[in-house]
Amino acid sequence: MTIKIIGIGNRYRHDDGVGPALIDLLSNKPLANVEAVSCLCEPASLISALSGVKQAVMIDASQSTGTPGQIQKVEPDQLSPSSQAAASSHGFSLGQALSIAKALGKMPEHTIVLAVEGLDFGHGEGLSPPVRKALPELLDRVCREIRAMRSNDVNAGAIHDA
Amino acid sequence: MTSKTIKVDYLTRVEGEGSLFLRIDKDKVTEARLNIFEPPRFFEAFLRGRSASEAPDITSRICGICPVAYQMSAIHAMERAARIRIEGPLRDLRRLLYCGEWIESHALHIFMLHAPDFLGFDDAIAMAREHPDIVQTGLSIKKAGNSIVECLGGREVHPINIRLGGFYRVPQISELEALRDTLKRARDDMERVIDWISKLPFPDVSRDYEFVSLRHPDEYPMNEGQIVSNKGLEIDVSAFDDTFEEEHVPHSTALHAIIKGRGAYFVGPMARFNLNFAQLSPLASEAAKRTGLSEGCTNPFKSILVRAIEVLFAFEEALRIISIYERPEAAHVEIDPADATGWAATEAPRGLLYHHYKIDPQGRIETARIIPPTSQNQKIIEDDLKTVAQHFIGLSDDELKWRCEQTIRNYDPCISCAAHFLTLNIDRASEGL
């Protein structure tokens, strides 16, 4: 079964582009039965990208109190559709976009989000040194998540077959 | 009770930072203020000294949802300064690009921001749980608009393919043809969902407005036309500064615009619709009539339905342009305005957007003046708030706040564009205070 990797972010705002940067890496090293796409955090595009997908790994930049380059695995339910972000008519947070996808019944059966702590979200291309340095580990984490999802498939199949 | 104050400290589902303040004395609304506290952004100042050719890309950064409008007004103003008119397929492509932006912007506002107001939902997420089909349809419609902007602009947000005299690259016929099926499906979806929108519970509120928009003899206005109103205004864009003026008010970082000697005026979809009804496409015109809309609509809450009619129009117009498109040999015409003055008004999704530039002999911008639609609508919004709050004076404070926020969203205000612009405070001071 195809697994979809979605790199979310704006590559013209430095570290916000870490998701698309990972998708660029995957384009040079395509994985079997994996579809990789970049996407802005815009509900129409994101929900379209999730359409018909059973398993998805999303990569997004985070801005919390963590160390730049640190990778955290987050379940979609942990992303709150914060009310403050709802204030804007121009943008939606990933939490809001995924909440809309869930309300519309468009969420894949299994979705995980890998959040990479960013350092610089200013205007311009290119990742900051600590985030760029984290890309190999991020690729490794994505591959591990894909293997785990496939393993669950096999196990689910085994249970089903039993 | 003698008086009270009602406040909303941070308005949601609008772009930018603003608040609302209402003062009510003896059940009479005495003051309504739309406070805009977003800091000024100084775009006009940092345009000075830049090349005329940079104006479209710099001004497009004023807004993430209507960058095309800023590019179009800037381009037309510079071309007027250079005394060059762009015709033929390049003109058509600009109009097609504008169709894409109207669809994106209107669909976002109708389905994600404004419809929840009419149905009592806090936001689009809550609405999506109860009306998934409508929200899904709305997102598909918006995505169809995105596809036009991406095709012509190079990307969905902040397009980068627009320049003085035309485009950096014009699409192949096949690239536009590839959009056709998506646009047809979205047009049909829009036509169906208009009937659902027309059944929303519209408060029965009307006012006597002066509507202002462009009017063009041959088409529903987007890029060109005279500035007209339903109260006799009929001017060339060059007379804008003589006809309109901006004034500072203490509670807003956005200038309030008025018609000299007359006062507030109303720009945006309702103004365009009322002043250009005859220019709507057949399907849009028929849908308007079917849903009970006709020229002369003065209920601001019906702006959501008017936006829907404009989306339907934009799909038809986009499909028409695609059907006649012939790829031009040159993607642009060379234009180098110098030692000249240029001005233009185009119809942004939210209404008339005016640009005025003075260019020095070296082709650098000497002065720039930009008057966005939300800035022009501020006074009308405050006047509406007084009328609506008075109409619903018997409601509880929370219900009254809801109605007031809905009233503001009738205008789909873009505070960030206007700030040079929401939070609601209602003042009904208790007896004895």
| pLDDT tens per residue, range B395-427 | 988 888 889 888 988 988 776 555 433 344 556
Q: Which residue of A has its CA nearest to B12?
A: A87
Residue A40 sits at the chain B interface (C-beta within 8 Å): yes
Interface test with B, best of A42, A48, A90 (most B CBs within 10 A): A90
Quote the minimal CA–CA distance from B103 to chain A in Å: 13
In chain A, what residues touch B142 (CB-CB under 8 Å)? 44
Contacts of A9 in chain B (CB under 8 A): none
Average pLDDT over residues B82-92: 97
Q: Provide the pairing of β-strand A55-62 with A110-117.
A: parallel
Task: State mean pLDDT over B2-13.
Answer: 69
Predicted pLDDT at A63 = 84
Worst-scoring range by mean pLDDT, B39-53, B105-119, B268-282?
A: B39-53
Q: Is A83 on the interface with B (CB under 8 A)?
A: yes
Per CB-CB distance under 8 Å, the chain B contacts of A86 are 12-13, 123
pLDDT band at B246; cut points 50, 70, 90: confident
> Mean pLDDT, to the nearest integer, of B20-33?
88
Give me the pLDDT at residue A161, please. 36
Where does residue B5 rank: exposed (0-12), middle (13-18), buried (19+ CB within 10 A)? middle
Q: Using an 8 Å CB-CB cutoff, list chain A residues near B156.
A: 40, 42, 45
CA closest to A95 among chain B residues: B125
Q: B157: pLDDT confidence band, cut at 50, 70 and 90?
A: confident
Could you tell me which of B164, B70, B81 has the C-alpha nearest to residue B360? B81
**B22: part of which helix (H) or strand (E)?**
strand B18-25
Which segment of B10-24, B174-188, B332-346, B373-387 scores lowest on mean pLDDT?
B10-24
In whole angstroms, give the CA distance from residue B176 to residue B318.
Answer: 10
Question: Of B112, B128, B414, which is closest to A104 when you measure between CB atoms?
Answer: B128
CATH 3.40.50.1450 fits A3-161, yes or no: yes
Q: Is the pLDDT of residue B193 over 90?
A: yes
Contacts of A104 in chain B (CB under 8 A): 128, 132, 135-136
| Burial (Cβ within 10 Å: 0-12, 13-18, ≥19) of residue A85 | middle
**Chain B residue numbers touching A41 (CB-CB < 8 A):** none
pTM confidence score: 0.89
Residue B98: pLDDT over 70: yes
Nearest C-alpha in A relative to B136: A104
Instruction: Give the three-state DSSP class for B74.
Output: helix
User: Cβ A83–B12 below 8 Å, yes or no?
Assistant: yes
pLDDT per position as a tens digit, B379-392:
999 999 999 999 99
Report the residue from B10, B140, B157 with minimal CB separation from A87: B10
Distance to chain A for B160, nearest Cα, Å? 13
pLDDT of A90 over the 80 cut: no
How many angstroms separate the Cα of B120 from the Cα of each of B12, B114, B115, B399, B402?
15, 11, 9, 10, 9
Contacts of B157 in chain A (CB under 8 A): 40, 42
Q: What is the pLDDT of residue B12?
A: 61
| Partner-chain residue, chosen from B129, B132, B156, that has the shortest CB–CB distance to A40 | B156
Residue B57 has pLDDT above 50, yes or no: yes
Q: Kindly indicate whether the ipTM for this predicted assembly is greater than 0.90, answering yes or no.
A: no
Give the best residue of B8, B125, B405 to mutate against chain A (max A CB count within 10 A).
B125
Separation CA A79–CA B238 (nearest Å): 51
Q: Tally the C-alpha atoms within 13 A of residue A83's C-alpha that lie toward its C-beta.
A: 5
Look at B146 and A88 and tell me if their CB atoms are within 8 Å.
Answer: no
Which of residues B14 and B198 earns the better pLDDT score? B198
Nearest chain A CA: its distance from B334 CA (Å): 29
Q: Which helix (H) or strand (E) holds B357?
A: strand B351-359
Q: In b/e form, how buried is each residue of B183-207, taking b as 16+ CB within 10 angstroms?
A: beebbebbbebbeebbeeeebebee
Q: What are phi and psi of B365, to 5 degrees?
A: -75, 120
Contact B113 A89 (CB under 8 A): yes
Question: Is residue B114 over pLDDT 80?
Answer: yes
Q: Which CATH number fits domain B3-203+324-428: 1.10.645.10, 3.40.50.150, 3.90.190.20, 1.10.3720.10?
A: 1.10.645.10
Of B150, B412, B313, B60, whose CA–CA distance to A45 is shortest?
Answer: B150
Q: Look at B132 and A43 and tell me if their CB atoms are within 8 Å.
A: no
- Averaged pLDDT, A34-58: 88
pLDDT of the residue at B421: 32
Mean pLDDT across A65-81: 84
Q: Is A45 on the interface with B (CB under 8 A)?
A: yes
Say what the pLDDT of residue A154 is.
65
* In the predicted structure, residue B104 carries a pLDDT above the cut 90: yes
Query: What confidence score (pLDDT) does residue A83 get?
Result: 42
Q: pLDDT averaged over chain B?
A: 90
Tell me, what's the pLDDT at A10? 87
Q: Average of pLDDT values for B160-169?
A: 97
Question: In Å, what is the CA distance from B286 to each residue of A119, B194, B280, B283, B415?
Answer: 54, 11, 9, 5, 34
Give Cα B344 distance to the centre of its chain.
16
Residue A89: per-residue pLDDT: 46
Of A44, A87, A96, the CB nearest to B143: A44
A83 chain-B contacts, CB cut-off 8 A: 12, 123
Taking an 8 Å cut-off on Cβ atoms, the answer to whether A103 and B128 are in contact is: yes
Report whether B234 contacts B228 (CB < 8 A).
Answer: yes
Show the DSSP H helices in B334-421 as ranges.
373-391, 397-409, 415-418
Closest residue in B to A87 (Cα) is B12
**pLDDT (tens digit per residue) in A17-42:** 999 999 999 988 888 889 999 988 77
Question: Vertex B324, ends B186 and A48: CA angle to 5°?
Answer: 25
